[in-house]
Structure formats: C-alpha cells, structure tokens
Structure 1
Amino acid sequence: LRVSFSFSIGLLMSRGFKPVRIRGAFWICSATIIGVMCVPYITPDGNPSVWNGIFDSVMTLAVFPAVVYLGASGCTTDRISRGLCDFFGNISYPIYIIHYPFMYLLYAWIWAAPAERAFADIWPLCVAMWFGLILLAWVLLKVYDEPVRRWLNRKAFGSR
C-alpha cells in the first residue's frame, strides 16, 4: 500500500504539475523534513497511541507530497544550496544501497537486550551512524560508483 500510494501520487503530481515560484523552497523543505523527523514515537502516558497512525497518515498523505511539490517548484540559486543539493543527490543512491544492513545491525543490537538499552545509550550511536553512513556513501561514490560509471560509458559509447 505504501509504495502504491507513493507511485500513484507521484504520477498524479507529475501529470498535473504546475510549478509555483517560492523563494527558499530548498530551505523550507529541509526544515519541514528535519522537523518531521524530530517527532518521536507518540505515547501519551506510556501507552501505545492511535496518534502515531494519524501522524504517519497526515505526513504520508499531505505533508510529504507538499514537500515534493515545493521541492520540484523551487530553484537553487545560492552556492550553498546548490552544493548541498549536488552532494546529497550524488550520495543518495549509495545511501539507499548501504543503509539497510546498518539499520538492521542497530536493530539487532537494540533487540538483543531491550531492557538494558536506554535512549541515552542509543542516540549517540544513531548520530554516529548517520554521519558514518554519509561518509561511507561518499567514499563508495568516489571509489566505486563514479569509476564504474566512467568505465561503462567508455565501453558503451567509446572514448568520449
């Protein structure tokens, strides 16, 4: 369901896309994503809550499509925005490929002794993994991805 909705809304947005000019769209979208990612699991009184499902639904059905629309409408005009977009665009595929094994290693570590793992023990590891994965993705991009793409281009299209 998650993939079918994302695909369908992406197709609908691409068919009826009419960009609007919004100054600072990159920074608005970045702040929105960071803000959404900072919302913890909602458990009033320590009990699981229906509010998590409502929050996830609102994000998936409204906020994330709006961020995609704003991001597609915006232009990066300053050097910092353009550099960040280029950097994160370049490492997006390596991050996509390598993040799952690290995510499951973290889950296995947490689930091995859940009673002993407090939030204070987990968040520094998560921050270190975040920066480590970005660094590893960049290294893999430079050492593997870009050289292989250059080699494949030479093989497919000759020496250009």
Structure 2
Amino acid sequence: MTALTPPARTGADHDRKLLLDLLRGLAAIAVIALHVGDIVFVPLMPGGYLAVDFFFVLSGYVIATAYDRRLSTTMRFGPFVGMRFIRLYPLFLVGAGLGLVKVLAQSHLHARFALDGGQLVLATVSNLLMLPYLLPYPSVFPLNAPAWSLSFELFVNLLYAWILFRARTPWIVALAVAAAVVIAAGPMLYGTDRLIAGSTADRLPFGLARVLYGFPIGMLLARLPAITARPSAKASMALAAVLLFCLALPLTGAASLARDLAFVLAGGPLLVWAGSRFEVPPRWRRVAAFLGDLSYPLYILHYPIVLSVAFIGLRQGFAPATIIVASLAFVIAASIVAMRYYDGPVRVWLSRRYRRRESAMPLSATVIPS
C-alpha cells in the first residue's frame, strides 16, 4: 500500500510530504469502498483497484528519497531489510490472523471456496511468510486477499536495496518501459476491459509488471531536482478531487480500459509528482498526517473485517447502506486501535532490539565497502 505503508521516518515531522500522506489515505479509503461495494452490489468506487498502482509509484518515490543516499554510503542490505520487515510485518500478521479466523469460519460453514486439511495448512504457512498460495483458489492470499500487493511491495523493496538503488537512470527507464508493455498486453491476452491484477496464481506476472512499472517510476520522480513544496489549499483539493474522480468513474468496455491504462501509466505518476511539488496548508497538517499514518492499517486490515461485517449484515437482512456504514465504522475503529496500541509499540520494541543488535556488530560489518 507501500506506499502501502507510511514513509520511513528519517527526519523530523516537517520533512514529511503531507499532501502525499493525504492522497495515500484517500486512496486506502477508496479501496475499502470498492470492496464493501462489491459485496453489497453497490458501485461505490469501481476503479478503486487502481489505488494499488498509485501506492506502488508513491512507494518508489518515498523509498528512493529516504534510502538512495544511505544505501550508497553506510547502510547495508541486511539493515534495510530489517527495517522494512519491522515496518510491514506486525500489521501484516494481524491482517493474516483476522483472515485465518475468516477462513476457519468458512471451513466450518462449508462455504464456497472453503479450505480444508492440507490446503488450509499450506495456505496459512505460505501467507504468513508473505508468499503466494499457488494452488487453485480465487486469491493467492486466501487469508487476506489484498496482501498480494504487499507481497510484491516487499519483493520490489528487496530488489531496490540489492540492485535498483545503484542502477543508472536509463536502466530504470528500460525496466519501466518493459513492465508497461506487459501491463498493456494483459487485457488483450485475457480479453477484459479492466487492468489485470496479480491476485490469482495465473496472473502473478501482471501483478509483478504493475509493481515493476510503478516503483521505478517513483524512483525516477525522486531523482528529479528537489524543490521546496509550496503550501496550497487549491492544489491540495484539486489533486484529491482528481484522484477520487479517477477511482470513482463507473466505466465499462473500452472506456474502462482506457481509464485504467491512462491512470496507471501516467495519471498516478503525475499525481505523485504534483503532490511532491505542493503541500497542504498548515491547518490541514494534522488531518493529512493522520490519514497517511492510518492508510496502511486501513489497507491491510479491512478485507477480513469487511467480509465478516457484511456476512452478518446480509444474514440479518440489513440494508446495503447500513452494511456499508457499519463496515467503514468497524474498519476505521479497528485500524485506529491497531495503529495506536499495537503497531506503534511493537515497532518501537522491535526497533530498539534491532538497533542494539546492530550496534553490537563490528564497524566493518555495518559499512558498505567503497
């Protein structure tokens, strides 16, 4: 998400791009609205799946801005991986745990797509390792379907710290162009009017192409000359409106495919570029920062919660509007609680232990040779 995840805190709070935080939070809410709407057959955010591509571009920008210089000087691959694991995994584990409860309930109720026996064990182990479940199933992450994008996020983060951070700009451009070709070819191969996701085993290459386009594009944006972002309420509102408008358009056929490709290949990158050039006005800072921090909990926790609330609501005969409101309320409340009382304290504890372990290593083991 990432980013699906809030940016690495490498400086003071005033160094944050709060307009990008605002856009990240709105994109996460759009994903929730998409999934709630799908369950109750109300098209709330029919293009919400494109938020993932926005997250990939934003992740490339944020990670490259925070780590390019550090990986080129003093930071090793191992500490980078450790920091990313600490940032991603605690909430990922909660989402997988909630999803496991959902899968066990499906098995108990003999629901459609229920997993039993060895399938359940294999899906649980692979998903807890942030790896896709490759046996036939509607999602490669049966425990928590949206986690497919987080798996690709982790993969490209590792690829970045291993080789991409030192790659010259022409090579980054070549990678993005190759990925763009695969993205454009997907709908033609499958005969669909929507962008091909990477959430099923047979379509993983297209999910990989989406992250290998978005993340490098974000890296390229981070390599542009730095400027001081200018606070602008009008620019902030305009960018937020453009993002939500693109995700909310109820298109079908050729128009839907054109929107998808235009947003993925150009619209998302332009939003990240513009968001890095402007800033929210001072009175918006708290709200923007809050939405940015909440975006990852919202994204990684919402799906099993939404499915559970909707299942109960439909069984009880509640109206779609009631289910929608209840789903959003439960997801937001659970995300706030998880962020404040679980994710933050756990990450602080893990970071302290990790720093102590790193500080105990000899200097030669903590500095990249020149």
State the partner residue of 1:58: 262
1:68 lines up with 2:277 in the alignment: no
Residues 120-156 of structure 1: CA distance to partner in whole angstroms, max 9, x if unpaired? x656534442343222111111121112123334545
Alignment partner for residue 335 of structure 2, among 137, 149, 152? Answer: 137
- Structure 1 residues 94 and 88 mapped into 2: Cα distance closer, same or farther (>3 Å)? same
Alignment partner for residue 82 of structure 1, among 279, 285, 305? Answer: 285
Aligned length: 139
State the partner residue of 1:9: 217
- Structure 1 residues 61 and 86 mapped into 2: Cα distance closer, same or farther (>3 Å)? same
State the partner residue of 1:116: none
- Structure 1 residues 29 and 150 mapped into 2: Cα distance closer, same or farther (>3 Å)? same
- Give the TM-score of the pair, scaled to structure 2: 0.33
State the partner residue of 1:23: 232
Cα distance in 1 for residues equivalent to 2:272 and 2:321: 28
Root-mean-square deviation (Å): 2.8
- Structure 1 residues 132 and 30 mapped into 2: Cα distance closer, same or farther (>3 Å)? farther
1:68 shift after superposition: 0.7
Residues 59-81 of structure 1: CA distance to partner in whole angstroms, max 9, x if unpaired? 112221111111111223322x2
- Give the TM-score of the pair, scaled to structure 1: 0.70
Unaligned 5+ segments in structure 2 are: 1-208, 312-318, 357-370
Conservation of the 8 A alpha-carbon contact between 2:217 and 2:269: yes
1:57 shift after superposition: 0.9
1:18 shift after superposition: 4.8
Q: Match of 1:63, as an amino acid?
A: G
How many percent of aligned residue pairs carry the same amino acid?
Answer: 32
Q: Which has the higher helix share?
A: 1
State the partner residue of 1:125: 323
Cα distance in 1 for residues equivalent to 2:329 and 2:267: 26
- Structure 1 residues 17 and 59 mapped into 2: Cα distance closer, same or farther (>3 Å)? farther
Q: Match of 2:273, as an amino acid?
A: Y
State the partner residue of 2:245: 35
Cα distance in 1 for residues equivalent to 2:240 and 2:326: 21
1:101 lines up with 2:310 in the alignment: no
Q: Match of 1:90, as an amino acid?
A: D
Cα distance in 2 for residues equivalent to 1:75 and 1:67: 13
State the partner residue of 2:349: 151
Residues 6-62 of structure 1: CA distance to partner in whole angstroms, max 9, x if unpaired? 01211221112554646233322211222222212x24xxxxx12111011111122
3-state secondary structure, aligned to 2:249: coil
Q: Match of 2:348, as an amino acid?
A: R
Cα distance in 1 for residues equivalent to 2:352 and 2:295: 24
Conservation of the 8 A alpha-carbon contact between 2:232 and 2:281: no
3-state secondary structure, aligned to 2:280: coil
Cα distance in 2 for residues equivalent to 1:101 and 1:56: 26
- Structure 1 residues 126 and 21 mapped into 2: Cα distance closer, same or farther (>3 Å)? same
Cα distance in 2 for residues equivalent to 1:123 and 1:17: 47
Q: Match of 1:84, as an amino acid?
A: V
- Structure 1 residues 128 and 35 mapped into 2: Cα distance closer, same or farther (>3 Å)? farther
- Structure 1 residues 57 and 124 mapped into 2: Cα distance closer, same or farther (>3 Å)? farther
Q: Match of 1:149, as an amino acid?
A: R
